[in-house]
Amino acid sequence: MTTKLEMEAERVEKIPMERAHRLPRFPGQKAGTPRNVMVKLSFWKDKDGIMSKARRIKPEGVFFMEDFSDTVRTARAKLKDLLVKAREAELKSYLSYNKLVVVDAENKRNVYAYDEDTDLVSALRTTFDDGLLRDHEQEQESISDRDDSSKSEDDK
């Protein structure tokens, strides 16, 4: 960590860790590739500092990821389509835990979330009309209509 994140050795040694261990190989992982390492730090501030530095430096061959629950990972995956569309529209956008934040040129924010019960993305707070959600809903409806029509043809 000292070389990849360009941190002083004394600073790294002072970061208290609760535990660190290698994870089992995931299915299909080659025997020669190193396994992932799970690290639990004692203080959120240390974790945030390391994650922030890793995002800025982007060290080669080392990846830092948060360990989200399955529910949060599902929500983030569903919001990713909308994130891509926002970035294509040249709007600043980012995922924050299980929410998508889209910012316009005047720093007005729209916040979106995935509802697991309805399987839909909805706007929690909107301050401008970006049209992203409307376009996304229309696209999801057309996909749903195609799925329904193929199911009804299979029933015949």
What are the domain boundaries of the chain?
9-57, 70-155
Cα-trace Rg, the chain: 21
In this predicted structure, the answer to whether residue 155 has a pLDDT above a threshold of 60 is: no
Contact residues for 72 (Cβ-Cβ < 8 A; gap 6+):
97, 98
* Amino acid found at 72: V
Nearest to 124 by CA among 82, 65, 63: 82
Q: Is the pLDDT of residue 13 over 60?
A: yes
**pLDDT at site 72:** 92
H or E segment and range at residue 81 = helix 70-88
- As a whole number of angstroms, the distance between CA 76 and CA 99 comes to 7
Q: Give the percent of the chain with pLDDT over 70.
A: 81
What's the pTM value of the predicted model, to 2 decimals?
Answer: 0.65
